[in-house]
Amino acid sequence: MTATSPQLSPEGATKLMPAPARHQPVHWKHRWKKRGVTWARWTHIYLSMVSFAILLFFAVTGFTLNHQDWFDQQQRTTVYKGTLNHNWLAKDVAQLKIVEQLRQAHGIKAALGELRIDEGQISANFKGPGYSADASIDRSTGAYELTETRAGWAAVMNDLHKGRDAGQLWAKLIDAAALLMIVVAASGLTLIFFLAKWRKSGLIMLAAGALVCYLVYVAFVP
């Protein structure tokens, strides 16, 4: 029974007032549980929003990559001809000048894939997402022919999804996106363990999803 102490009201009547309640110390398990819930919730929410654009991109391009025949795969090929400074093609080939001249003359932004120097010819290859340019240079005359191929937007998106010819910075972005997916998934899974009402059904759905993927693999993947 809660102890009470008499106090005098403004009218002079005696009134029993409850004594201050004693606060029970919070157990360390409850503190860590609360912190765990808070961490999982905010991590899941904010990382999902931060990574929303890149996750959406890889989801959409995963679909286009899986259905390439549904989208325009038409390629445009253009052949250019020109002449380079003959002095650049002598015994000591001016590789940097050759590459920069080709870039400036034809607006090439893709990375240099390969530069091959033979006795009578120099070959240069530029590669980018949905793009390629191949140049063949005659060392005796300085004349060259460059064949440029541009694919449709779907091919560009698919190459970005695979990280093909997109450079090291894009490769790091793919790694970061993969890590974000892992953290978002892990925080969501962690959160379900703190929601007693939904824990059982959530874990059942998790197991069902994994089982369906496994059965499809076993039954239909050669």
Q: Quick one: average pLDDT of 204-211?
A: 92
The CA distance from 149 to 131, in Å, is 6
How many CB atoms are closer than 10 A to CB 136? 15
pLDDT of residue 131: 95
Sorting pLDDT into bands at 50, 70 and 90, what band is 53?
confident
Q: Report the sign of the C-alpha dihedral through residues 204, 209, 211, 215, in that order.
A: positive
pLDDT of residue 35: 72
Name the region of 153 (left: φ>0; alpha: ψ -120 to 50; beta: rest): alpha
Per the model's pLDDT, the better-predicted residue between 5 and 129 turns out to be 129
Distances (CA, A) of 36 to 23, 47, 131: 23, 16, 48
- Scanning the structure block, which residue is given the tokens 């239909």? 220
Sorting pLDDT into bands at 50, 70 and 90, what band is 20?
low
Quick check: 45 and 187 in contact, CB under 8 A?
A: no
Q: Report the sign of the C-alpha dihedral through residues 188, 189, 194, 200, in that order.
A: positive
Cα-flanking dihedrals φ and ψ of residue 144, to 5°? -140, 160
- Scanning the structure block, which residue is given the tokens 């240079």? 137
Domain ranges of the chain: 32-69+157-213, 76-150
HSE at residue 172, side-chain half, CA atoms within 13 A, is 3
- Name the average pLDDT for the chain: 84
| pLDDT-wise least confident of 38-42, 116-120, 145-149, 179-183 | 38-42
Q: What is the pTM of this model?
A: 0.71
Amino acid at the residue 189: L
* DSSP code for 130: T
pLDDT of residue 1: 46
Cα-flanking dihedrals φ and ψ of residue 134, to 5°? -120, 125
76-150 placed in CATH 3.30.160 = yes
